[in-house]
Every structure is written in structure tokens, then in C-alpha cells.
Copies of this chain bind each other. A is one copy, B any other.
Amino acid sequence: MKQSINVGIVGYGNLGKGVEKAIRQNPDMTLEAIFTRREPQGVQASVPVLHISEAEKFVGKIDVMILCGGSATDLPEQVPYFAKMFNTVDSFDTHAKIPEFFAQVDAVASEAGHVSVISTGWDPGLFSLNRMLAEAILPEGKEYTFWGRGVSQGHSDAIRRVEGVKNGVQYTIPVEDAVAKVRSGENPQLSTRDKHLRECFVVAEEGADQAKIEQEIKNMPNYFSDYDTTVNFISEEELKANHSTMPHGGTVLRSGRTGENSTQIIEFGLKLDSNPEFTASVLVAYSRAAAKLADQGAKGAKTVFDIPFGLLSPKSAEQLRKELL
């Protein structure tokens, strides 16, 4: 291993800014540069901000490029492009398209001799790991995932597309009673509505019909119609003051049986003040693993299932055994 793992960031939104902060907490890593598709002039950051087209000049200087764009259009384009030049880490989270994305990235990274860790973060990522672990240990059982309380960007965007809505934030909230039932080992059958509530804070345009907005939100298919949804109209000032942070979290539970009839429950939970900062911290730990894997001669696309936890830590295997086993 080299003295320091040199990292680049592609995309300087909330996630990219989170990565910049997370790297400061990891003395074995150095942030080299930030790359953006926008005009880089005037973007303030702790390191040089360059246009994405300049990244190729950093081949040999950057060990791992952390891709912080969105899953809809940025990552499917950017990850294969950067995997030709660098080891990469991303948080691609369109679950249904992961096999296709993996194949595409694997082909490029394998040929170029780089490691690309795809789809990490907390879901996909840590939650996937815990679903898998719990299923492997308790093959006879049932898995439950609850998300929240937290802001869902997709649902907030959906609110903001409703006519007459100026601004809005949506919280996904797990139903406490459902979580308690799972924890008790009851193995309940839970419908979509049983598991989560949706709470909306909406700023209406002046003169807009609030009753109509409320009905339109509550009846929106896929997003809200299968849930118990509450809609609260508030002022822009109140939205800014009370709903501008991005908390999130959730719980993955598996309730299984062993032997004659022993109930065994495995639970993993997150309670996050800042979703993007936490996701960024996961990406940074996996970028350390990507650098170590590449040093060991690995190549191709990898997921959280392929990576031993020990590689996430700056500590040696010996230290880990002594201090943490």
C-alpha cells in the first residue's frame, strides 16, 4: 500500500460535498480534485474544481474516483467512462437495473484492469449486506425492511410536480406498531399500507386550491395512493426553517426459526441526521477497499457481497484481530 490513497470526486452536489467532508475524517486518504459537468469557475471547494473533461490528466495520480451523480442518467454514463481510467466507487441504486449495470461496468473495468465497486451506500449497500447475512444464517425466516423516518427525494420531487405546489418535502415514516410486531417474532403479513406512512409538508402557490392539491397528492399512483398520507400546508419560511435537512434511516429485520421452534431475530438499523453525509462515508470506506483490492491485483466490477469487511478499515488484519474481533 502507498502512504495515502488519492481520491477524486465526480459530481459536487450533496453527495459529493459529503464525500469531501468524509475524506477529512480519514487520515489515510487525500482528496486530489473535484470534477464537475458544470462550469467549474466559481465553484468553491477545498481542492481544485475542474471540468470533467480534465479527469484524464489525473490518470496515475488518482487511485479511486468516487462517482457522486444520480442513478437515472449520470452513473450509467459516467461509471463506464471513468472505469476505463480509474478504480471507481458509485451508489447506483436503481435495484432492477443492477444486473445490467454490473455487466456493463464489469466488462470495461476488467479490460482496463481496474476495480469498480458498484451500488454501495446504505440501500443498496449496508441494508443489502444485512439482508443477505441474515438469510444465510437463518434460511427459514422472513425479512422486513422499514425505511425512515426520513426525507424521500423521489416523493418530494413528485409533490413538487403537482400543479399549484411551490415547494414540498415528504417524509417516509415506518409504522411503529408494525415494527414492534416484527420484533416480537410474530412474523406478521404486512401490506404496503401497514408498513409505512407518508407525511407531506407543502408550500402552495398563492391562491392555489389546497383541497385539490391534497387530493391530487393522496391519489397519486405508485407514490402515495397505497399509503396513508397526510398533507400539511406550511409557509416557505417554515419549510426552510424546519424541513431543510435530510435525515433518514431505517431497519432491516429478519425473524427466523431454528431447531424445534426457537425464534431468532437479527436487526440492523440506521438513524441518520444526514443521509448524503452518511452515504458519502460509506462510499469513502469502500473506496479504501477498492484501492486495496486493486493493489492485490483484483479487477472488474465488485459489489458489497464480494468485499471482505477488513478491507474497509485503515487497520491491518493483525490490528483488527487484536482490537475488534
Contact = CB atoms under 8 A, between A and B. Distances in A.
Interface of A: 18, 21-22, 25-26, 95, 98-99, 102, 119, 124, 126, 128-133, 135-140, 183, 185, 249, 258-259, 262-274, 277-278, 280-282, 285, 288, 303-310, 312-314, 317-318, 320-322, 324-325
A99 B305 contact: no
A129 B321 contact: no
Given A139-B26, A259-B277, A273-B263, A305 B308 contact: yes
A265 B267 CA distance: 14
A95 B325 CA distance: 7
Contact of A271 (B25, B140, B267): B267
A281 B102 CA distance: 31
Given A25-B139, A183-B271, A272-B265, A305 B285 contact: no
Nearest to A324: B132
A46 B313 CA distance: 43
B321 A310 contact: no
14 contacts: A18-B259, A22-B258, A25-B139, A25-B258, A99-B321, A132-B309, A135-B313, A185-B273, A258-B281, A262-B272, A265-B269, A267-B267, A303-B320, A305-B325
Given A273-B264, A325-B95, A320 B132 contact: yes
Given A25-B140, A281-B137, A266 B270 contact: yes
Contact of A322 (B98, B131, B183, B268): B98
